Structure 1
Amino acid sequence: MARLLDALGATEGLTRYVGGAVRDDLLDLPVSDVDLATRLQPDEVIRRLEAARIKAVPTGIDHGTVTAVSDGHAYEITTLRRDVSTDGRRATVAFTTDWEEDAARRDFTINALSADPLTGEVFDYFGGASDLLERHVRFIGDPLKRIAEDHLRILRYFRFHARFGAGKPDIAALEACTQRANDLMALSRERIADELLKLLALTDPSVTVGIMLERAIFKPVLPEIAADGFARLEAAIAAEQAAGIAPDGLRRLAALLPSDVAVAQAVAARLKLSNKARKRL
């Protein structure tokens, strides 16, 4: 890691840790993925990595992302960006050297933190550190605008609230997600399925799922959820915990749905689940 940071000019303030790695470290949670943001242009990132004999893979070069493989670990390195235009599904970006401008395009305050890899200094432009302490998940700026930029942020909001939040959801966020729930229909079903199963696979997302059901968040994409789906979900989670079985998103999705093979087949097809997942559901 030291060799990678040296190659990317961390000593000159050119590169920082960003996002989940900073958030999870502040919460004393295990850090699984380390992402880096840099003022360097993507071609310069590749040049520096190759000069340091670190493998560089242009995984998302059009959006400024290069993956470095160093000492058997993969690290995503993304050039600082600002949004030029968005359509709710994808964004056109331009590169920048402004850390705050890059942080401003992220979804939630707790995800907009960055840190100096050498000193550990945390840079917090939107109050994310205090939100972490209060276990409060909120959008950066106007929630309606952030959802318009990427509709998937509706589901992401509830996933992050289920994982990191405590107490009631942020009112502005909840109202915006409720108002724009139909926007989910514009997303690819694969993105919806991925985010939904991540939410359901959390340790105990039942309170958050209950709020989503009350607010009809699922209705545009999963109108089949059973009338007793919430009670079935709670029972499934309790049974998993009693049996010492790990949380499982697909099992919990099944609990939310009626016990009807035709319904399961329709949902699996709509969400474009794998053949294995379809059969299991």
Structure 2
Amino acid sequence: MAVTLDLGAIRARDGFDALVAALGGAAAARLVGGVVRDTLLGLTPADIDLATIVPPDDVMARLAAAGIRAVPTGIAHGTVTAVLPSGAVEVTTLRRDVSTDGRHAVVAFTDQWRDDAARRDFTMNALYAEPESGIVFDYFDGLADLAARRVRFIGDPLQRIAEDHLRILRFFRFHARFGDAIDPDGLAACAARANDLMALSRERIAAEFLKLLIAPAAVPVVALMIERHILRAVLPEITSAEPLRALATREAAAGISPDPIRRLAALVPPDAAETIGARLKLSNADRKRLMQATAGPGDEGPRALAYRVGGTVAVDRLLLAGADVAPLDGWTPPALPIGGGALVARGLAKGPDVARALRRIETRWIAEGFPDSTRVEAIADAEVAAMSSA
């Protein structure tokens, strides 16, 4: 019995049917990958991708003729982005691998759907669906694996990993998101080839690992990766998943969404945060946050901490320290309701005295729990009087 995809939400997207028609209809284009997988699971797909037998230059021409804006985002590898009123859709010509080196692939275009499916990583990602009828095409038992929540490589896992080493991390990320019982052949292959991760750019490793850290089953999957020495070649500092487990428990109890940088901070030793941030080529903001996350809750209280370091870093520090984050729920750090001009008007000379007085006023304002401007005016009067009489 044929499996069909519910196309309601997809076909309701403005411009989608016109795009399919421009490509030649269901005979020439099919939905592929995550949009099929997620829709079958009852999830809202993050992206919509189409595979087509139409060569990429012809895709550009057909979309232009149909009045659809086309951007050659990866045309050398067959990908054109169609910009629809309802959002972007990636259209990729069917491909087969000519050669691979573990990081990059040389591809040739084809009109054979099975060849395109065969070069994909996991069976659940090699599902196609007609964009008009919703009929699903399954070349490698992906439907059975999806039903069993089993992440399984297409063909020989070692060969799939040799083609692209990042598939090691993708195997664990997809298992953390979709998996139930782990595929033993895939696990064994990833463990055997874990050192291949060293050949990848650190940016690719970071992007994949950070996605993994916020997946639903991140904690047991990271524990398994540590047990099987998956990370040892690229992140040897990560030796225990227990801090991540504790953080995940606190996030859930506080109703706070998982955050990849916060969760990475739980896993890495504080004295290695700067090194790891640089190794993974994180942004300057994320490196700084990674280093600040384990500095502790401070001794002025949660709101004072949030005022001094910002809400995001404060939540990181409180959760990682096991401190209460409830006082920050719905609270936005206010601005000090007085400035230097008001102190000069009270008789202080412009310069260092004003700066010192503002610091003292701010300290008292924080200690008193951020009172309103009336109280701040009184504090300012007292500080100016004290400094004037000194």
The correspondence for 1:30, drawn from 14, 32, 44, is 44
The correspondence for 1:256, drawn from 259, 267, 276, is 267
> For residues 100 and 144 of structure 1, what CA distance do their matches in structure 2 show?
20
Residues 31 and 130, structure 2, Cα contact 8 Å, conserved in 1: yes
Q: Which has the higher contact order (CA 8 A, sep 6+)?
A: 1
Q: Which residue of 1 aligns with 2:199?
A: 186
Q: Give unpaired runs (5+ residues) of structure 2.
A: 1-15, 291-390
> For residues 244 and 148 of structure 2, what CA distance do their matches in structure 1 show?
28
Moved over 6 A (4+): none
Q: Which residue of 1 aligns with 2:79?
A: 65
Whose Rg is larger? 2
TM-score (norm 2): 0.70
> For residues 129 and 188 of structure 1, what CA distance do their matches in structure 2 show?
33
Q: Which residue of 2 aligns with 1:213?
A: 226
Deviations 1:73-105 (A, max 9, x none): 100000000000000000000000000000000
Counterpart code for 2:135: E
Q: Which residue of 1 aligns with 2:345?
A: none
Deviations 1:43-81 (A, max 9, x none): 110111000000000000100000000114100000000
Matched, 1:241 2:252: yes
Q: Which residue of 1 aligns with 2:286?
A: 277
| Correspondence list, 1:215-234, <5 A | 215-226=228-239, 229-234=240-245
Q: Percent identity?
A: 63
1:32 deviates by: 2.0
Residues 33 and 125, structure 2, Cα contact 8 Å, conserved in 1: yes
1:10 deviates by: 1.6
Q: Which residue of 2 aligns with 1:199?
A: 212
| Correspondence list, 1:1-281, <5 A | 1-11=16-26, 13-167=27-181, 169-226=182-239, 229-260=240-271, 263-281=272-290
Residues 226 and 238, structure 2, Cα contact 8 Å, conserved in 1: no
Residues 204 and 237, structure 1, Cα contact 8 Å, conserved in 2: no
Residues 110 and 137, structure 1, Cα contact 8 Å, conserved in 2: yes
> For residues 65 and 230 of structure 1, what CA distance do their matches in structure 2 show?
38
1:201 deviates by: 1.4
1:225 deviates by: 1.4
Counterpart code for 1:269: A
- Root mean square deviation of aligned Cα: 0.8
